[in-house]
Structure formats: structure tokens, C-alpha cells
């Protein structure tokens, strides 16, 4: 029989103490691993999301390039530059001290890092990005930022590697889009005045301009870098808004002038709207918003007409993008006319001459992109074109 001595008991207690300290150290190390590496993962995911957000936002703004109006070759160039811009901006936003590479995905594979497509309802999280339509109508960019074995390398773990966990994959995705289902206008302190001109154009004339069937040619060139307009060609066809180029685009005695506000609008009101845009007081006549109804139409009263008195006001905005209403029919002459408006389109005034014989008068316009905080958007109804709400993150 063995009898434990006091010395043996002490040794066993010391052994237990050593084991307890060892377990405690392992627990402390485990907690340190958890704390440090979880913090690292939070940082990595946050920085990856920031990189994806920045890349998609910048790319979507780049996609809003009016060169897309100049034909398929220019659309292709804009899309390539959009991809390059999104990848470059993502690269500038480091993820755990590494500038991440985003593959351009020229083939536009839906599973790729950088994908362009269309969203008809960007605020609907269930809508899938569509790639079937004309690339000239794309309005959304998705950026997938990855740090994994395929792209940029996984995130290295520190203390957790002592427990056999050496690295972790992360990813972040962001989609930015600009809304183009414009159905109306609302002016607030935050939006500023609406870039809407009080001149309407017949829908069939607009469509034939886009199709190249009704045009005054390509006689003026807009320089996007300077905002200047000069004689020459820029690849975008033009139309004479006043006194018109056929197709019954404007009714006699009115020539498409509409009241955006009270029917008692003065010449000074119209001049102000041309130079400064439609303001909150103008829209108060319509209850605060000027908007297409549930049937997709909006009746607007005609005004007395476009006169030579507006020459300087129109000349002051040459080169600047604006929106004009398009209508399907009009009843009555002059200020008794009622226009059935079905949408709003983006244009740019290139040249103005309102004196001399009627045959020499002109207000030459071309299609142009207008981005305006004051627009109201709804599901795309196919009538409004080239008028957009600013780019926002939607996913």
C-alpha cells in the first residue's frame, strides 16, 4: 500500500496549477485570435464594400456619357471606358493594405466581377439585372470585389493560424444605377429648380428624329469638355423645334409653347423658366408635382407662342441640357390649346434665330442627356427618354 506524503500532494497541486495555467493561456490565446481576427474580418469586409460601392458608382456615372447617342461604335467605347473606370476606382480603395484588382469582364458574363445591364425598376430588390436589350439602354453597373484564391488572395489570419485557420475568403458586391423611368417633376429645397422648358414637341417628330427620318442634319457640334457649340458635326442629328420641320410637330398660332404653372403665366415667367428652370411656385399650380396620370398622359394648356422676345433667353442656355414635354395630340389654337403630354425627353439647344422671315427662324435642338434631382421616376413606360435621376446605389 502506497501512502501519499505531503510532498507528493504539493507536487500534484503544482502540476494541476501548471495545467490550469496552460489551459488559461490557451483560452486567452483563443480569445485573442477571435478578437483580433474577427476585427480584421470586419475591417476587410467593410473596406471591400467601400471599394465595390465606389467602383460601381463611378462606373455608372461614366456610363452616363452622351457619346452613347452617336451610334453603336461609340456605345462600345463608352462601355469599355465604363469598365475601366469602375476597375480603376475599385483599385484605388485598398482592402487590408492591398489595392484590389477587378476583372473587366468584357464578355459581360453575369457571374463576372464587373457587369453592365439594365434595371427597369432599380428600387425593386427582386428585379434581376437584364442583359438582353440594346447596350445603349444599359443603366446599371454591378461590381463584385473579391479577395480569395482566384482574385487578390484571401485575407491572412494571425492568431487563428495557431489553431489551424490560416486565411479567409471575403467578397462584396454593389450595384449602382440611374433611374430613367421619368414620369414627372417635383421641386424642393434639396432638388433645386427643374430643368424643364415650356416648349412641347410632337412624339412622332421626336421618334423620326431618333430614326434619322426627320432632321435638319448635323450642322452643329457640342464639345462636352468646354460646353461650347460650334459649326460642324458631332454625330448627333438635329431638329428645328421652331417653327418646326414637318410632321405637324407644332400647331399653328402656338408653336408648342405650354403653360408650366398658371394659365396666366407672363412672358417674364416663360423667360425665367428658360434661364432658371421651373420653380416650386410654378408647380404649386399642379398641387406641387407635374406628373403623368395613371393612363400615362398629362394635359397642359397652350400659351400664346414662342416670340422673338425669348431669343436672348434661349441663347443664354445654348449647350446646356434641358427637358421638353412630348405630346401625341393637341386641341384648339394659341392659348386655348390643350396638349396631351406623354413623356419628357432630354435635348440641347444649339442655335437660335427668331427674327426675320419665318423661313429663316430656328431653334435647333439635338437629343441630350439630362440628369436632374427634380425628376419623379416610376416604372419605365417607354415614353420618356434621356432624362435621368442621378446615380444611386441600389443593391
| Secondary structure of 169-192 in HEC code, one letter for each residue | CEEEEEEEECCCCEEEEECCCCCC
Residues 6+ apart with CB under 8 A from 139: 60, 63, 118, 119, 122, 177, 178, 179, 180, 388
Q: What is the mean pLDDT of residues 52-67?
A: 96
Q: Read off the pLDDT of residues 89-108 as tens digits, 9 standing for 90 and up.
A: 999 999 999 999 999 999 99
Q: What is the mean pLDDT of residues 367-384?
A: 87
pLDDT at residue 226 tops 60: yes
Q: Read off the pLDDT of residues 312-328 as tens digits, 9 standing for 90 and up.
A: 999 999 999 999 999 99
pLDDT at residue 53 tops 50: yes
pLDDT band at 342 (very low <50, low <70, confident <90, very high): very high
Mean pLDDT of the chain: 86
pLDDT band at 151 (very low <50, low <70, confident <90, very high): very high
Q: What is the pTM of this model?
A: 0.84
pLDDT above 70: percentage of residues in the chain: 83
3-state secondary structure of 30: helix
Which is higher by pLDDT, 13 or 375?
375
Give the pLDDT confidence score for residue 359 in this predicted structure.
73
- The H or E element spanning position 298 is strand 298-301
Q: Read off the pLDDT of residues 239-278 as tens digits, 9 standing for 90 and up.
A: 998 876 555 566 555 567 889 988 877 888 999 999 999 9
CB 314 within 8 A of CB 270: no
Q: What is the mean pLDDT of residues 202-226?
A: 93
Give the pLDDT confidence score for residue 7 in this predicted structure.
52
pLDDT at residue 163 tops 60: no
CB 340 within 8 A of CB 328: yes
Between the two ends of the chain, the Cα-to-Cα distance in Å is 77
pLDDT at residue 21 tops 60: no
Helix axes 6-63, 72-92, angle to 10 degrees: 150
pLDDT band at 302 (very low <50, low <70, confident <90, very high): confident
pLDDT above 90: percentage of residues in the chain: 64
CB 22 within 8 A of CB 139: no
Q: What is the mean pLDDT of residues 143-171?
A: 81
Residue 188 CB neighbour total at 10 angstroms: 11
d(CA 200, CA 197): 8
The alpha-carbon radius of gyration of the chain (Å, integer) is 31
pLDDT band at 132 (very low <50, low <70, confident <90, very high): confident
Amino acid at each position: 500500500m502506497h501512502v501519499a506524503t505531503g510532498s507528493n500532494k504539493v507536487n500534484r497541486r503544482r502540476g494541476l496549477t501548471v495545467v490550469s495555467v496552460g489551459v488559461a493561456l490557451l483560452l486567452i490565446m483563443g480569445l485573442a485570435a477571435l478578437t483580433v481576427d474577427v476585427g480584421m474580418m470586419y475591417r476587410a469586409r467593410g473596406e471591400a464594400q467601400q471599394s465595390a460601392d465606389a467602383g460601381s458608382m463611378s462606373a455608372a456615372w461614366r456610363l452616363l456619357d452622351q457619346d452613347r447617342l452617336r451610334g453603336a461604335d461609340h456605345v462600345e467605347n463608352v462601355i469599355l471606358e465604363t469598365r475601366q473606370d469602375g476597375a480603376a476606382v475599385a483599385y484605388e480603395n485598398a482592402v487590408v493594405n492591398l489595392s484590389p484588382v477587378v476583372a473587366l469582364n468584357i464578355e459581360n458574363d453575369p457571374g463576372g466581377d464587373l457587369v453592365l445591364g439594365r434595371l427597369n425598376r432599380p428600387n425593386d430588390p427582386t428585379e434581376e439585372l437584364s442583359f438582353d436589350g440594346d447596350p445603349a439602354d444599359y443603366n446599371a453597373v454591378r461590381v463584385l470585389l473579391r479577395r480569395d484564391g482566384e482574385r487578390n488572395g484571401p485575407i491572412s489570419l494571425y492568431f487563428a493560424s495557431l489553431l489551424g485557420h490560416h486565411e479567409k475568403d471575403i467578397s462584396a458586391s454593389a450595384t449602382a444605377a440611374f433611374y430613367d423611368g421619368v414620369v414627372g417633376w417635383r421641386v424642393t429645397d434639396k432638388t433645386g429648380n427643374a430643368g424643364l422648358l415650356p416648349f412641347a414637341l410632337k412624339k412622332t417628330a421626336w421618334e423620326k428624329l431618333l430614326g434619322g427620318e426627320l432632321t435638319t442634319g448635323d450642322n452643329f457640334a457640342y464639345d462636352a469638355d468646354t460646353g461650347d457649340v460650334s459649326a460642324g458635326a458631332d454625330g448627333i442629328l438635329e431638329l428645328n423645334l421652331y417653327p418646326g420641320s414637318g410632321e405637324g410637330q407644332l400647331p399653328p398660332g402656338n408653336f408648342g409653347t405650354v403653360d408650366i404653372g398658371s394659365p396666366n403665366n407672363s412672358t417674364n415667367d416663360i423667360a425665367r423658366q428658360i434661364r432658371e428652370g421651373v420653380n416650386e411656385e410654378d408647380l404649386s399650380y399642379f398641387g406641387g408635382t407635374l406628373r403623368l396620370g395613371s393612363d400615362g398622359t398629362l394635359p397642359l394648356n397652350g400659351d400664346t407662342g414662342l416670340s422673338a422676345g425669348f431669343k436672348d433667353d434661349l441663347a443664354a442656355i445654348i449647350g446646356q441640357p434641358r427637358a421638353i414635354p412630348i405630346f401625341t395630340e393637341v386641341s384648339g389654337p394659341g392659348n386655348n390649346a390643350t396638349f396631351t403630354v406623354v413623356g419628357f425627353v432630354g435635348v440641347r439647344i444649339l442655335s437660335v434665330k427668331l427674327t426675320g422671315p419665318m423661313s429663316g427662324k430656328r431653334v435647333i435642338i439635338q437629343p441630350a442627356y439630362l440628369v436632374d434631382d427634380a425628376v419623379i421616376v416610376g416604372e419605365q413606360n417607354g415614353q420618356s427618354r434621356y432624362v435621368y435621376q442621378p446615380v444611386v446605389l441600389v443593391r
